[in-house]
Chain A
Amino acid sequence: MAEKRVKLGRKNRQRKLSVKISILVIILVAVLVAASIVIGSITFKDALTRQYNETAYQIAATAGGYFTEDQLKEYAAAVKKLQTEKLSDEEKEAVSSEITGNTRYQDVRTMMEKLRESTNANDIYIFLLDLKELGKYTPEADEKGEWQPLYYMMDCYSQTDESFTFGDRGSIVTKYMDALEKSQKTGKESDTYIITNTQFGYNITAIFPVKYGDQVVANIGVEIPMSHLQSDIRAFVFRVIMVTVVIMILALLISIFLILRLIVNPIHLVAMEAINFVSENTVVSEKLPTIQTHDEIQMLAESLLALEQGVNLYIDNLQQVTAEKERIGAELNVATQIQADMLPRIFPAFPERKEFDIYATMTPAKEVGGDFYDFFLVDDDHLAMVMADVSGKGVPAALFMVIAKTLIKNQAQLGKSPAEVLENVNNQLCEGNKAELFVTVWLAIIEISTGRGMAANAGHEHPGLRHADGSFELIKYRHSPAVATMEGIPFKEHDFEMKPGDSLFVYTDGVTEATNAGNVLFGEERLAEALNRDPGAKPEELLKNVKEGIDAFVVAAPQFDDITMLGFTYYGDNVTE
């Protein structure tokens, strides 16, 4: 898995990132170039158009200077008369020829022809705009050629044979009607560019109102071709593209170089160091501190470094904790062994004594437990037996058990009665018992020669007793409080007598409270049943029977409490093996 990642990291990732960034840069530059071409063309076209427009108006102004005020007023009055008054053809002819036949008219016309030729204009013409006629516009009238608000006074068209003559009428491009009307009324040049794109080419027209006083007497129209405009713009665009492509390539190379150097390479280094850290068993990388980009990548590198150090610290810590745990586990094993060794475990315990048989077992629930049993000869004729259970479990209970067991044995060996023993042990255990643990104790001391004895029960389970040839029964009676509950309390004891063949069985609550998967307790009834499966069995067999009974009942449920049992059979003098 780690090997695969290393390979991926070395090849694909770096290339991927740089390719992605390059594509991004190309797209960005292309968008910028397109935008600059569009904006540049529009600006360029506007500037050129304005230039053409101004030229046209300058020509018109020049042409206007060829006329005198009287002259224009005369021509205007004449064309108006021709159009508005009802005249016969002869009368019309007379009016026209009076104007056109005049040498001044012809001189001006010649000058205007020259002006047109020298300025490369398509057309220079002088006309009167009839505002009344202009207002009568309808699309139908325009289509039929009936709407013609322009009255020509002079027309110097480049195609001479198509020129209007004095008194001819004409229409205008309806799009510019409003602009024209406005300039007519104000006497100022129109703001609107009058541009026509017909079979005659791409042209711009200036309509220059000639004004005397408040009145516009006539208009001078100048149409000039803008044939260079398109090619000029194409050339401009071409130049822009050439320059920007060169800049783009340079920018691309520089940006890729910078991106590789400033971003991709450091990131790649960080990634490789992370992979190395994983694959090379947590060696903190030395290259990370060399990343000094003063930006997020350095932050990333520093974070990774801190992470690596943190991981190592954690691993160290974990190793220590694990070692500690192992040590505690090992010590607990020793403690279990010590605790087990504290209990008499060699059977037969008294091979030379034929008057009785004794057997005991302890199965702790945790490594060390709070249950214990004990038996020892107080003197040649007295046997002491102890069964006890410290409240709680684990190490605290085990430590308490060690003290309790030692104290009981010490006191008993002084030859005291069970009640005296417990009273002394109780007072000693109560001293400084901050943990408030206590221990239930069953203690019996039996005179081996007679079978008579004394027993005390400090809050412990009911002992089971079987008379020879009978069955086991639990002996229930009122007990004393558990040992170490309260200082200075007295303990009760009672005497008993065992006949040869009688048996005794004592245990802790781990037996009766063994729980199966259904949370049901083993209980005293099942205990009696197990005991009476073979009531005459020797103690070792008897304990085995009970343990088997518990195991069969509990099945796989976990053991919660220590299970401790002791069996004793009295033979007296007459029975021997």
Chain B
Amino acid sequence: MDIKKTQDGSKLLVAVEGRLDTTTAPQLEKEFKESLDGITDLTVDFQNLEYISSAGLRVLLSAQKTMNKQGGMVIKGANDVLMEIFEVTGFVDILNIEGA
């Protein structure tokens, strides 16, 4: 898994590539923990993400909760596989997913 961050003032773009599962989720969680301070607009780019497991969903949920308090969070670029996972798990109701 690869994480690329682009910050513009209080706007942060996080692009996640590869697989977000039990082994890689802690890495993303750490990134969020370190860089969400003072961010009001968080965009998570999943254009090159292949798979997300429940551990990955938990990290997204945690980030969503944090961002609910200090601004907003958008997920974009999710492919069909990811969309199905989001839908089946009901995460479409919780997360702000662009194109859903």
Contacts and interface: CB of A to CB of B under 8 A. Distances in A.
A560 B55 CA distance: 13
A253 interface: no
B12 to A, nearest CB: 20
Contacts of B87: 478-479
Contact of A482 (B22, B65, B89): B89
Contacts of A440: 54, 89
Given A486-B94, A489-B94, A459 B65 contact: no
Given A481-B94, A509-B54, A438 B61 contact: yes
Contacts of B61: 436, 438, 485-486
Contact of B58 (A391, A476, A480, A513): A391
Interface residues of B, number: 16
A392 B93 contact: no
Given A486-B94, A509-B54, A479 B88 contact: yes
B55 A459 contact: no
A482 B90 contact: yes
A486 B60 CA distance: 12
A305 interface: no
A169 interface: no
Nearest to A389: B54
Interface in B55-81: 55, 57-58, 61-62, 65
Given A489-B93, A489-B94, A478 B88 contact: yes
Interface in A353-396: 389, 391-392
Contacts, number: 52
Given A436-B61, A486-B65, A392 B91 contact: no
A481 B58 contact: no
A437 B61 CA distance: 10
Nearest to B95: A481
B88 A481 contact: no
A109 interface: no
Contacts of B54: 389, 391, 440, 509
A166 B41 CA distance: 133
A440 B91 CA distance: 11
Contacts of A459: 88-91
A306 to B, nearest CB: 41
B90 A479 contact: yes
Contacts of B89: 440, 459, 479, 481-482
Interface string A383-413: 0000001011000000000000000000000
Contacts of B90: 458-459, 478-482
Name the residue among A438, A458, A459, A560 with the largest chain B CB count within 10 angstroms.
A459
A547 interface: no
A204 B54 CA distance: 114
A482 B89 CA distance: 7
A436 B88 contact: no
Nearest to A486: B94
B91 A436 contact: no
A462 interface: yes
Nearest to B22: A560
Contacts of A513: 53
Nearest to A560: B22
Interface string A449-490: 000000000110010000000000000101111100110010
A496 B89 CA distance: 20
Nearest to B85: A459
A560 B22 CA distance: 10
A528 B87 CA distance: 22
Interface string A483-517: 00110010000000000000000000100010000
A480 B91 CA distance: 8
Contacts of B62: 436
A256 to B, nearest CB: 68
B26 to A, nearest CB: 11
B91 A481 contact: yes
Nearest to A478: B87
Interface string A7-25: 0000000000000000000
A462 B88 contact: yes
Contact of B93 (A391, A462, A480): A480
B15 to A, nearest CB: 23
Interface string A84-120: 0000000000000000000000000000000000000
B67 to A, nearest CB: 13
A401 to B, nearest CB: 14
Contacts of A458: 90
A485 B94 contact: yes
Contacts of B55: 391-392
Contacts of A392: 55, 58
16 contacts: A391-B58, A436-B65, A438-B61, A458-B90, A459-B88, A459-B89, A462-B88, A479-B87, A480-B90, A480-B93, A482-B57, A482-B90, A482-B91, A485-B61, A486-B61, A509-B54
Given A392-B58, A476-B88, A560-B22, 19 more contacts: A391-B54, A391-B58, A436-B61, A437-B58, A440-B54, A459-B88, A459-B90, A459-B91, A479-B88, A479-B90, A480-B93, A481-B93, A482-B57, A482-B89, A482-B90, A485-B61, A486-B65, A489-B94, A513-B53
Interface of B: 22, 53-55, 57-58, 61-62, 65, 87-91, 93-94
A-B pairs, top 6 by smallest CB distance, nearest first, are A481-B90, A459-B89, A480-B90, A479-B90, A459-B90, A391-B58
